[in-house]
Structure 1
């Protein structure tokens, strides 16, 4: 269930300020109070929330008070009718969305995102009453099943967000909803994707991340060009899209954001993408794209994010970038790009997130570039050989004191993991996956005292988990799993020092012995997984309140 608390969007703060100002008398002019029918509808909506499970009780929502001054509510300054309802990130819980909401027929903006509606369906009827709605956000709210056709009838919509996928990337981890990448909770079968958008011709922003649109076949791109030509933001990650990108998509001349990652899109990256002069984000990672990447896309002046990683048949050449490029994120991991010369990135003074594949790197003496890459805060490396002389060519990474995030995947070494990782004392997130390192996790990891997120999975470390891990007292997420050489021996009692942990996953290693009693000191744990080990015992006298325990023996 959702419990996270998020900051109010700026426009809601402005709405409250406007409401306060409008309630002040100026001569004989006084702004009207909230419409009584709308106040009654809001109070009924409040009663539908189970506050035993919610983190916000909406204390300002009280009868006999002006609902235009209530938290998350905005009203028309003349009629007093409710035009805005923004309950985003309030940690509210309910078994379903109460139909009293649909009595607020003057709503223009509705945001219920980041709450929990208990796996219920989005109501099949009711939204058609909100005919003047321009902004609708139901994302990350635990809805399940078919997206109803009535949403496709809201012809005034400018922004629609019904995303149902969420990622942990070292960010906030307060609830079980934040622990996992969500599965596809919502589907578009009938109505189909075409049926949903065919009347939404005013749409400027469309977010459907995680919605299963497999029934759309290969027509999704043609549908976009035909019905929503004024689209500026397109985010359809993990939607099970297939087929090539149809030429009809070239009609989206105002497009600024394209996020199509984690699909099954095939074919080539279209040349016409270089004609999108307003394009700021191009996210095509984890697809089946092939052929040569159009070099003109690199020249787009407004492009800030370019991620084509994990397209193993996609090739291209990285240009020597000139000053003035807006690129902030560039990720070419697990592609066939060649001739990647690190000094080429020196001119990218806005670059903060870089992902490169070791097979494509042309290594240079580090003094050519090392002092000029300190603007990079996130570094993603794959297929790097850290062995002996070869590994020394990458020791410069340990000098990048600007790094806050380091991700290693498919790397290997004939000896242990490089000890220079312990020099990166500003790291907040360290993610190591599918790496083959001989020997133990190095003691130097204990130097990374600012770490909040540490994930080591599908690697080949051996020997026991070192007590130096107990130094990482800012950790909120710790995962060590699927270690196929085996971290032998007991779980170090020092792990109990990590009293900020929300998630602890030590799964499918070769830990043995008793479960340390010190785990009971972790009062903020919401998820614990110690399964697939050879452990005995249980958590003794726990003071922790867990949402979920996955462990054969550690029963409270």
Structure 2
């Protein structure tokens, strides 16, 4: 069930009231206009529109309403609902469009529903018992069109209560009301102290339906003309001096007052304009998205005002009127918001209203009556425009606005509209496809402003014909899925002052950035965010004195940034974020600087911050995070008292946190984390920052002391708090009073004991991320069966000493980390509700039982599953299907049994599969070779058996780690199989990174990014080693402790990227292949406990990185080569070979001259040639190291290897978020 409407019936209640509505795919539910009684049912999280107004429902709104993350429309008006509005309504700010809670019994304050980016259009909370002050957050509702807070108990200054004189200047700003006053439908002047007579001119208001002048001091006769003669006693009562119909008091003269002469009427009307409406204007007024109502005539239901104002306007042309009606009737109008909720009447013009110039969204020329402007924005139109549409008949059109329409064929048929159009706004109009250079769009020769933002042009190219629009001053193509090179022709638009090409897949190579902007001499704003510039910033930009905004974040900029740009007198916004190859330093700032926003995050700017930064008096946002600045935090920052956001994180600042921070009272976001700041810091410093919402101090060298007494009255209400590695020994006392925290990070401290029970009641409606990992927590004061944070995204309790059952997180959870604890028991079936889960890490605990079958349901979301080192048993659920996104599965060190599940062959994105140390009984899973991204395959220590045969198809070509050790495989090693391992053929690249699962997700319009480092346990250097991180180039083959037989394939020599090769404890025979000397990256070679014969090849001396070499317990003969690394190993590497002689063995060789080790003269000649031609450089390098450093090299080698490829002690993952939702 997706849609249900049973409104306007006589339903009285529910046979069995559903607490939760079970339709999991429900989108729209409409139960309005019934007589329903009882509690408010809770719809599923998929619900977008919930209408249940005009019933008799009672009770409070459940906190489970907080889960309605897709809600666009909520109408609970006209019921008997009580209580407070849940604080979680703040979370709907990015989805909710309409909220109507009027005519109930709600009380308390209004949640903070508006923030930057809020999309709410209507808020009606009238006729309730809300109290306190009007929330100033409403000023952030930039899309708000209707606000009704009437009939409550608010106590505040304007606009809640009016006292004193109401200045006429106030009315002058109400542009949207500047319409013909004759269209006034409602005039209420009652309950004042007005005196004098009722002007006869009011009889001109022929549309007047409501007229109230009661309870004033009016005198004289009531005009008996037009509408004024139709109102009843209630409109006039309470005026002792009034007389005439409909009042019982008769006037002394029976002659009704006549209207004034035409000239006097005109004069009085003009006065009336000033007194009650607004004077007309002779210019074009454009106001979009302002009102839902103005008159009874509607061109398009719910259209907003766009009017040409004048005291006298001619009727529109009949052709234009007919064309508009035909155009309107050719589309479907989505009336859900406009008719059902707001009860807007459908436009149905009669003969009396053929003047299309009076219709909403239409503007006409003052003299000719031709339609010159159309505003169809947010008109909820759906459909297509065909080539014969009357839309193309408006010859006088100069302005067209179509924001948020869905006219799919508009650009397909071309804009065959009048060439006089100077402004065209088609943003957010669901346009898709490509724009051809032949489109008639490019015939609009007068076009000055073009906005095509927020559409989908299907990654097509920007047409070069854009250069034909030579008069363009404004061009916005942002967020529109354009692709490829920015056309050179745009650089020829010399009038262009505002180009915005941001958030596409564009690049600037030819022309490059320099050539693009060189001719744009009128440039005021340049927005190229996410455009692939990949070049330096031209220094001549410092000459563009009119530049006010320069947005070049995420552009791949490089080289040194021109200092002169910082000194442009009008530059207000500079955003260079996320250009790590862009370097530079800050110049001296002039006192006339206009900077309001300065963002350099994640660039390579360095040196110290100059003291002249104090001259940026207007600065609001300063972000120098993740740069290379050093020194002390400059004291000159104390003068930037307007700052609302200060980010100095991820630099090399040292010393103490300066005390002047407490004087930046406007700061809402403060980040000093990841520096070298030190000393003891008293948390009291921040108590005076009442506006502070985000405080990030983690990972410095600080010791923070927090007052343990009652601090609830003074501590700021945080939304994000990072006190990681701050030497805390207990949970800060003030946390228990925080009611809107979203981000809490306390990892790496010394917090001990149990997790207090009050933690679970902390910010229940808002908490999104909690990290208390790497502490000394031992358990729970009160174990929560269900974690109550309804919007939790990430929970990390790993690396503690927690005991007890596994707490069940809410369905919203995306990451759940509880590894390295002592948790026990089974996994609850309630884990099946975690439908958003990306990462589940329960490794290194004492969990038991079988894995729930419902893990199969995570196949489309789960990226990382780590259940290793527990006591799980049974079989593995069918977690992979077509479309599965899982990248890592680690079920090692458990008690799983049976066959290897072939469903794993469907995990096409799988990179790591570790099923080692279980009880699987099967043959080699050759079907895994089809997985294109499989890098790590570990099946060690099971009961696997059989022969590994040659593949009939190319497979395993991405494999870096191949571990089949401690099984029962038999037969010969397949040379052809080994040739498939293409990823092992390549040596270390210059800048190798670690193998991780990178992922990001959007929550509340915020992008969260994180990574999960892959870890492995393998046998290396004779020891079982845990690698918490694995470099991408780390290549391992471990086939040890099986029953392989026959010779070692020569083809192993082509795997030149191998670092570890372990073939020990098999039944291999024959000679050691000399081709192993080609694997020059090899660091560990173990061939021990086989039946190998012959001599040790001299070519193995080429392995200058070798730190482990074992050939013990074979049948080798001859002298041990005394070259390079081979001469540094002890007896244990060679023992058990009766025929071997030479150091370090006690058995000496008969001849003091070491043999060449080659079997015949031909082999010696070719090998020697190979040795001298291709190996000498490596040999010389190795020899120099060996001679100069001697034994130090051998002893240090192990440490270097561990640092490079792994470590004994676990390093913690650190998650990061691109931007906090409250940050900018």
Q: Normalising by structure 2, what TM-score?
A: 0.35
Q: Which secondary structure does the structure 2 equivalent of 1:334 belong to?
A: coil
Once the 2 structures are TM-superposed, how far is the Cα of residue 466 of structure 1 from its aligned partner?
Answer: 5.7
Q: 1:529 aligns with which of 863, 874, 884?
A: 863
348-357 vs 529-538, which deviates more? Answer: 529-538
Using the alignment, how far apart are the partners of 1:30 and 1:158 within structure 2? 31
Q: Secondary structure at the match of 1:297?
A: helix
The answer for the alignment partner of 1:253 in structure 2 is 593
Give how far 1:423 is off: 3.0
Partner of 2:814: 478
For 1:348, the equivalent position in structure 2 comes to 689
Is 1:62 the counterpart of 2:385? The answer is yes
Specify which of 272, 279, 289 is matched with residue 13 of structure 1.
289
TM superposition shift of 1:123 = 3.5
Report if aligned partners of 1:84, 1:107 keep a CA contact under 8 Å in 2: no
2: CA distance, partners of 1:62 / 1:315 = 66
Q: CA deviation at 1:59?
A: 1.9
Please list every run of 5 or more consecutive structure 1 residues that lacks an aligned counterpart in the other structure: 40-56, 166-183
**Deviation larger for 395-404 or 318-327:** 318-327
Report the Cα distance in structure 1 between the residues aligned to 2:360 and 2:418, rounded to whole angstroms.
Answer: 10
Cα distance in 2 for partners of 1:142, 1:196 equals 30
Task: Give the whole-Å Cα distance in 2 for the aligned partners of 1:137 and 1:509.
Answer: 50
Pairing partner for 2:453 from 105, 112, 123:
112
Match of 1:32, SS?
Answer: strand
Aligned residue number for residue 383 of structure 1: 725
2:737 to 399, 402, 408: 399
Unaligned residue ranges in structure 2 (runs of 5+): 1-69, 71-93, 96-116, 122-141, 144-286, 291-302, 308-358, 393-399, 408-414, 506-528, 869-874, 890-902, 908-1224
Displacement of 1:254: 1.1
For the aligned residue pairs, the C-alpha RMSD in angstroms reads 4.9
State whether residues 635 and 660 of structure 2, in contact with CA within 8 Å, keep that contact through their aligned partners in structure 1.
no
Query: Which residue in the other structure is 1:203 paired with?
Result: 547
Secondary structure in 2 matching 1:421: helix
Instruction: Check whether the contact 2:648–2:672 (CA below 8 A) recurs between aligned residues.
Output: yes
Equivalent pair of 1:425/1:450 in contact (CA under 8 Å): no
Question: Relative CO higher for 1 or 2, CA cutoff 8 Å, sep ≥ 6?
Answer: 1
- Aligned equivalent of 2:709: 367
Quickly say closer, same or farther: Cα 1:350–1:98, change in 2 above 3 A.
farther
Partner of 1:309 in structure 2? 649
Q: How many angstroms apart in 2 are the aligned matches of 1:185 and 1:448? A: 39
SS at match of 2:626: coil
Query: Following the alignment from structure 2 to structure 1, what is the Cα–Cα distance between the partners of residues 709 and 488?
Result: 60
Q: Displacement, 1:284?
A: 1.3
Deviation at 1:368, TM superposition (A): 7.0
Instruction: Pick closer, same or farther for the CA change 1:479–1:134 going to 2, 3 Å.
Output: farther
Are 1:518 and 2:850 counterparts? no
Q: Look up the match of 1:189.
A: 534
Instruction: Verify: 1:332 aligned to 2:672, yes or no.
Output: yes
- Pairing of 1:431-442 with structure 2 (within 5 A): 431-432=769-770, 435-438=773-776
1:51-200 equivalences under 5 Å are 59=382, 62-63=385-386, 64=389, 66=391, 68=400, 70-72=402-404, 79-87=420-428, 100=439, 106=447, 108-110=449-451, 112-113=453-454, 120=459, 123=462, 125-133=464-472, 156-158=496-498, 160=500, 162-163=502-503, 186-189=531-534, 192-194=536-538
Query: C-alpha displacement at 1:16, in angstroms?
Result: 5.2
Question: 3-state SS of the aligned residue for 2:538?
Answer: helix
Tell me the CA shift for residue 305 of structure 1. Answer: 0.7
Q: Structure 1 residues 371 and 153, CA, compared in 2 at 3 Å: closer, same or farther?
A: farther
Residue 468 of structure 1 aligns with which residue?
807
Q: How far, CA to CA, are the matches of 2:480 and 2:823 in structure 1?
A: 38
Q: In the alignment, is the contact (CA less than 8 A) between 1:430 and 1:451 conserved in 2? A: yes
Q: Deviations over 1:343-381 (max 9, x none)?
A: 222222222222224743552524374421143332222
Question: Is contact 1:331–1:355 with CA below 8 Å preserved after alignment?
Answer: yes
Distance in 2, matches of 1:436 and 1:391, equals 13
Partner Cα distance (1:465, 1:536) in 2: 25
Q: Secondary structure at the match of 2:382?
A: coil
**Does 336-345 or 482-491 show the bigger shift?**
482-491
Give the CA deviation at 1:206: 2.5
* Alpha-carbon distance in 1 for matches of 2:305, 2:432: 28
Provide the rounded CA distance (Å) in 2 between the counterparts of 1:451 and 1:479.
Answer: 12
Label 1:185 to 1:230 Cα distance change in 2 as closer, same or farther (>3 A). closer
CA separation in 2, counterparts of 1:197 and 1:482?
A: 52
CA deviation map 1:464-518 (0-9, x unaligned): 9965324x24x1x51136956798887543122245x3x5322695699866443
Report the Cα distance in structure 1 between the residues aligned to 2:591 and 2:479, rounded to whole angstroms: 30
Q: Which sits farther off after the overlay, 24-33 or 402-411? A: 24-33
- Match 2:613 to one of 255, 273, 288: 273
CA contact (8 A) 2:818 2:841 kept: yes
Counterpart residue number, 1:46: none
Change (3 A) 1:404 1:532: closer
Q: Shift in Å at residue 264 of structure 1?
A: 2.4
What secondary structure sits across from 1:350 in the alignment? Answer: coil
3-state SS of paired residue (2:862):
strand
Question: Is 2:860–2:883's contact at 8 Å kept on the other side of the alignment?
Answer: yes
- Number of residues paired by the alignment? 492
Structure 1 residue 453: Cα displacement = 2.1
SS state of the match for residue 506, structure 1? strand
Moved more, 346-355 or 154-163: 154-163
* Matching residue of 1:169: none
- Change beyond 3 A, Cα 1:185–1:375: closer
Structure 2 residue matching 1:86: 3-state secondary structure: coil
- Aligned partners of 1:246, 1:484: CA distance in 2, in Å? 45
Q: Is 1:300 aligned with 2:588?
A: no
Q: Which residue of 2 aligns with 1:31?
A: 371
Per-residue CA deviations over 1:262-312 (Å, capped at 9, x if unaligned) read 222221123222111110000111222111222232332321111112224
> Which residue, out of 500, 504, 509, partners 2:838?
504
The answer to whether the 8 Å contact 2:630/2:651 transfers is yes
C-alpha separation in 2, matches of 1:377 and 1:296 = 28
2:839 matched to 1:494? no
SS in structure 1 at match of 2:605: strand
The residue number in structure 2 matching 1:212 is 556
- Give the aligned partner of residue 171 of structure 1: none
Cα pair 1:145 1:187 within 8 Å, conserved: no
